[in-house]
Chain A
Amino acid sequence: GQNIDQPTEMTATEGAIVQINCTYQTSGFNGLFWYQQHAGEAPTFLSYNVLDGLEEKGRFSSFLSRSKGYSYLLLKELQMKDSASYLCAVSTSGTYKYIFGTGTRLKVLA
């Protein structure tokens, strides 16, 4: 079967660094996406990894290890507005469907 796991909730302090993990088992792999979603809104794109390694984009970085079926999203210098759900999604080859992880609700405290 296909399975993508993330922690359900995380809490961190403003200005800190937080790492959100994602482990996956899917039939086929054509890249992994991270999205941010505020309540009642559509997901917004954060990052994309298809090769092993770290991709850095401002305060956000994402890492991928295909052999381990593992990715993480690293958020630095946390701000209150970063309080949101973070979704890991695997693009499966062939159909290009996304399989979404369970999502992680991040709460940033002052």
Chain B
Amino acid sequence: GAVVSQHPSWVICKSGTSVKIECRSLDFQATTMFWYRQFPKQSLMLMATSNEGSKATYEQGVEKDKFLINHASLTLSTLTVTSAHPEDSSFYICSAGTPQSGTSGRYEQYFGPGTRLTVT
């Protein structure tokens, strides 16, 4: 159980275009979804936290008008990179979080396989 999928797994787009990445929790309902960005040889950097039906909370330094997040249901969140530029090329990873039943206080995130974005 606890499978998270991302689509597409990789995408190449031209500078100035927009790209949408989908994140789905396949066998559970996620109370919250998270979007991360990872540059080569670096760790995961949290971009934003999204809850179903409400606006996403962006981390400091992340442009909310450039990285549009929509969380339409408890199993689907989308990240749209608008007017992409080469510096947006990165590995984007989503995770879906849910409290663990029977384990007091434990909240676990399940990670998607990631989307490799290359902007030319």
- State the A residues within 8 Å of B (CB): 30-31, 33, 40-45, 48, 50, 85, 87, 91, 95-103, 105
Interface size on B, residues (CB 8 A): 25
Chain B residues whose CB sits within 8 angstroms of the CB of A40 once the complex forms:
91, 114, 116
Main secondary structure of the interface of A (DSSP, over half): loop
B36, B43, B95, B111: most-surrounded residue (chain A CB, <10 A): B43
Nearest Cβ on chain A to B1's Cβ, whole angstroms: 13
Chain A residues whose CB sits within 8 angstroms of the CB of B114 once the complex forms:
40-42
Chain B residues whose CB sits within 8 angstroms of the CB of A42 once the complex forms:
93, 111-114
Judging by beta carbons under 8 Å apart, are B43 and A95 in contact? no
Chain B residue nearest to A96 (CB atoms) is: B107
Q: How far is the CA of A98 from the CA of B93 in the complex (A)?
A: 13
Judging by beta carbons under 8 Å apart, are A100 and B43 in contact? yes
Q: How far is the CA of A84 from the CA of B67 in the complex (A)?
A: 29
A-B CB pair tally, cutoff 8 Å: 55
B61 within 8 A of A: no
Q: How far is the CA of A38 from the CA of B112 in the complex (A)?
A: 14
Chain A residue nearest to B107 (CB atoms) is: A96
Q: How far is the CA of A100 from the CA of B44 in the complex (A)?
A: 6
Q: How far is the CA of A96 from the CA of B100 in the complex (A)?
A: 12
Chain B residues whose CB sits within 8 angstroms of the CB of A43 once the complex forms:
44, 93, 111
B32 within 8 A of A: yes
Judging by beta carbons under 8 Å apart, are B49 and A95 in contact? yes
A-B contact pairs, 27 of them (CB 8 A): A30-B105, A30-B107, A33-B108, A40-B116, A41-B113, A42-B93, A42-B111, A42-B112, A42-B114, A44-B111, A48-B108, A85-B43, A87-B43, A95-B57, A96-B32, A96-B107, A97-B34, A98-B34, A98-B95, A98-B109, A99-B46, A100-B36, A100-B44, A100-B46, A102-B42, A102-B43, A105-B41
Chain A residues whose CB sits within 8 angstroms of the CB of B106 once the complex forms:
30-31, 48, 50
Q: How far is the CA of A102 from the CA of B42 in the complex (A)?
A: 7
Interface 1/0 per residue, B27-63 and A, CB below 8 Å: 0000010101000011111100100000001000000
Chain B residue nearest to A101 (CB atoms) is: B43
